[in-house]
Amino acid sequence: MNAGPAPVREIDPHSAAELTHAAQKILEAYGSSVPRPALLEHTAETATGLSERIRHHCRPVDTADGLFILRGLPVDDADIGPTPLSWAGAGDSAVLWDVLLLLLATVTGHPLAWEGQQGGRFVHNIVPSPGREQAQTGASSAVLLSPHTEDAFHPGRAHLLMLGCLRNHDRIATTAASIRRVQLADADVELLSRPTLPILPDDAYGEAQGFDGPPPKVPTLWESAEGLTLRFDPAYTPLGEASPAYRAAYGRLSDELARVSVAVSLAPGDVLVVDNDLVVHGRVPFQARYDGTDRWLKRASVRVPGRRTRPAAEAAEHGYGQTAIQAYV
């Protein structure tokens, strides 16, 4: 794994103040317990009036790295309160950052939520949770969170992922690897482009795991108009059902992703923006304390209107019965 720095876009103090003021005005007008449609509508209206400088900061990912860090938003460690023990216990903790992420997500596309995950919220709290230490979800801590495409099982998954850091005293690294950095033989790309295996729903989607329907077989790689793209989640892919040749090619892809992987230690106020069609992300293991000082991220998912990076066959997938809720449709 490489420890090289991720591309950084510094948010100038004026833009940071503009975003913070806009988020505060939304909360003043509607409060933190406003019904979701009203908050989203106000956020969309506010986003249209943000400066061109902010829009420039949020321009599309423009390097083969497939990610960048927005740096410069303020976080007061005392003001945000203790790190919650679970997403369900977070309530309206650090709700200003929920609105900040919604504003950034709205500038880049359409925020996305799921009926079956974190109560349909558009901004998720990612915190270590007691009893979930070994899970392959964001609530884990003691295990390596395997590199994966976010919500890889679903055809309506996000194009972009935003991870806003509120607290990370231990400098715990998020891992990221871009398909545009790997070196694979043409034969491996061809084999992995065949719809051979399904990707099953992860442990964050309990209802989806009980869905009564044949799991669709999907390609791991494909060529889009923008270049090679991937859909990858080895922890939830039944590789034992594939041929030895396919498993070998998948293993070489995994090795290449590990070779080009970078470790990104987010600081409070950083927002990591990941192209979910190019980059798999994960997290290194760590020891959770559950004392209010653990790592705390906020996560927003974004669909980009008109983006054509997915195979047409995805439209026929059932998504294991999970409904994506897209804002501003």
The rounded distance, in Å, linking the Cα atoms of 230 and 219 is 8
Range of the domain at 230: 8-305+322-326
Distance of CA 182 to the CA centre of its chain: 21
Measured between its terminal Cα atoms, the distance across the chain in Å is: 40
Domain harbouring 102, CATH code? 3.60.130.10
In angstroms, the CA 94 to CA 91 distance is 9
What's the rounded Cα separation, in Å, for the pair 88 and 165? 18
Is 315 inside any structural domain? no
Q: Domain total for the chain?
A: 1
Compute the mean pLDDT over every residue in the chain, rounded to the nearest whole number: 92
Indicate if the pLDDT at residue 42 is higher than 60: yes
Residue 217 lies in a domain: yes
Q: Report yes or no on 314 lying in a domain.
A: no
Confidence tier at 2 by pLDDT (50, 70, 90): low
Q: Is residue 35's pLDDT more than 70?
A: no
- pTM listed for this prediction: 0.94
Q: Percentage helix, strand, coil, to 5, in the chain?
A: 30, 20, 50
pLDDT value, residue 90:
87
pLDDT tens track for 211-253: 878 999 999 999 988 889 999 999 999 999 999 999 999 999 9
pLDDT tens-digit readout, 169-181 = 999 999 999 999 9
User: How is the beta sheet containing 173-178 ordered, strand by strand?
Assistant: 145-148, 279-283, 173-178, 262-265
Predicted local distance difference test score (pLDDT) of residue 59: 94
Q: Is residue 139 part of a domain?
A: yes
Taking 70 as the threshold, does the pLDDT of residue 29 lie above it? yes
- 8 A C-beta contact, residue 100 and residue 164: yes
The number of residues in the chain equals: 329
Is residue 129 predicted with pLDDT exceeding 90? yes
| Residue 1 lies inside a defined structural domain of this protein | no
For residue 286, being part of any structural domain is answered with yes
What mean pLDDT is predicted for residues 127-141? 92
Nearest-10 Cα torsion for 298, 40, 24, 29? -150
pLDDT band at 33 (very low <50, low <70, confident <90, very high): low
* CA distance linking residue 316 with residue 6, whole number of Å: 36
